[in-house]
Amino acid sequence: MPQIKTTVGQNTCPMEVFNQLKLIFEKVLLMRLKIFLSVLLLTVCNIFSQEVTSSFASKKSREHLMIKLKDSIIKKEADHFFNNQKVNWNAYSWATTLIIDDSPQNHAVLKKALKEYKQFSKSELQKVFESVFACFPHDFVDEVTVIAENETESEKVFASAVNYLARNNKDVSYLLKTKFNNNDKPILQALRNQFLTSYKPISFKELKKLIEFNSNKKIKFLYSVQHQNRDKIGKVFIQNENGKLVGKERKIMVIDQLARSATNLPMYITNGNTPVGLFRINNLAVSENVFIGPTKSFATYMPFECSADLFFNDSTKDFSLTNYLSFFPGEMRNNLSLQQSYWAGKAGRSEIYFHGTTIDQNLYIGKEFYGQTPSLGCLCTSEIWNDDGKLISSDQQKLVDAWMQSGNEDGYAYVLELNESDWKMFEKNINTLL
């Protein structure tokens, strides 16, 4: 058998030396492979052993919260009201809207408050409206009509009252023609837009055009597609920097998302539903709000909430409506519904995040959006916690992981309302958007 020679310096080695070197090399390689696998296994074990927990989401904390809401806030403030004592309307409104309190006690409080509305400050009356919209959307048409017809100072109170009447199929055209008609404040601009024919949801065809419009931007976009009726659960998906919709195996990753505020107030009112339109995603962050929990949120800006150069990523641009509308294809720029985040931002709305939740879904059994939890104007995805406050599943984490596939945190988000007649087409053909 011929020898195989290899050169080491100026000497030659026989086959036996070569085999010894080969054996040593294999042992070293095997040792390194074992070390690598051990480190990898340890890392994986550490990842899975790190439980995400929130004491606020535990069964004990939820039970304690309900006692506090019902006894220490709602009943206490109701008793104060009926006994002509000072009422903390901020606390009362927050508590009743969180649990959507449709009890006879709350009904009596709100009926009395609406009849005696002249004794309230405008900010207090607006808090009364929050509870009215959330808990009794159809019960107080007569009382709200009186308020709408007599309001002359607060555009926020007037806009809220008009919306309440419109949702109850009342003609509000005479109010829009005769009240605040010389006032161009953002809330009133948004209110007037809402009743024009060019204010409408988009079609599935327009959604496809918007995605195509953004396909070469080299920026990430998040699309939150919602119903006009915010009791219905919407969908959210992501377009990466390469213009591709994020997913796998020819299926887009689509996650349920709720854009309904607990108050269900109009979207340009503080604590109202999430506005339709464009948002700047600045970064991802863990919120200090215990109702949101420890999962990272998408921290967003509306126009006017940050500097124009940050919002547009362009130091030459200001917050003109033209610059805002440049984020939509030409044929969509005349749709007034897509301007809502612009007017809401100009009116002072802020801190609208895309986030998870520690709120107990069981508070909303029987509601159309059950399984999801409303917020105070943000967009919320489902998270499930066990009795000890351990996170069992998180749609929010799935959304965050999908967004962070490319590493950078910033981008843009669209909140869109889709024609109700197009929803079946959207759900059936979503993967054709790939």
Whether 103 and 158 map to the same domain: the answer is yes
* 1 part of a folded domain: no
Q: Token pair of 282, please?
A: 């600045």
Cβ–Cβ < 8 Å for 141, 165: yes
Domain span at residue 158 reads: 56-183
Whether 323 and 389 map to the same domain: the answer is yes
Per residue in 310-365, pLDDT (tens digit) is: 999 999 999 999 999 999 999 999 999 999 999 999 999 999 999 999 999 999 99
What is the C-alpha separation between 180 and 46, in angstroms, rounded?
A: 61
- Helices 89-98 and 122-135: crossing angle, nearest 10°? 10
Q: Which residue has better confidence, 370 or 50? A: 370
How much is the pTM? Answer: 0.87
Cβ–Cβ < 8 Å for 239, 223: yes
Whether 255 and 404 map to the same domain: the answer is yes
Count of domains observed in the chain: 3
Per residue in 99-145, pLDDT (tens digit) is: 999 999 999 999 999 999 999 999 999 999 999 999 999 999 999 99
Q: Which residue has better confidence, 47 or 210? A: 210
Number of H helices, E strands in the chain: 16, 14
Whether 333 and 403 map to the same domain: the answer is yes
Q: Kindly report the average pLDDT of the chain as a whole number.
A: 91
Q: Token pair of 137, please?
A: 């959307």
Whether 216 and 118 map to the same domain: the answer is no
Interstrand relation of 411-417 and 391-394 (parallel, antiparallel or unpaired): unpaired
* 413 part of a folded domain: yes
Whether 348 and 381 map to the same domain: the answer is yes
Q: Which residue has better confidence, 50 or 173? A: 173
* 195 part of a folded domain: no
- Rounded alpha-carbon distances, angstroms, from residue 276 to 16, 153, 260: 77, 27, 12
Whether 65 and 87 map to the same domain: the answer is yes
Closest to 349 in 3D by CA, of 404, 424, 269, 420? 269
- Helices 104-115 and 141-150: crossing angle, nearest 10°? 30
Instruction: Answer yes or no: is pLDDT of 43 > 70.
Output: no
Cβ–Cβ < 8 Å for 230, 411: no
Per residue in 367-388, pLDDT (tens digit) is: 999 999 999 999 999 999 999 9
* 190 part of a folded domain: no
pLDDT of residue 50: 61
* 238 part of a folded domain: yes
Q: Which residue has better confidence, 21 or 108? A: 108
Instruction: Answer yes or no: is pLDDT of 33 > 70.
Output: no
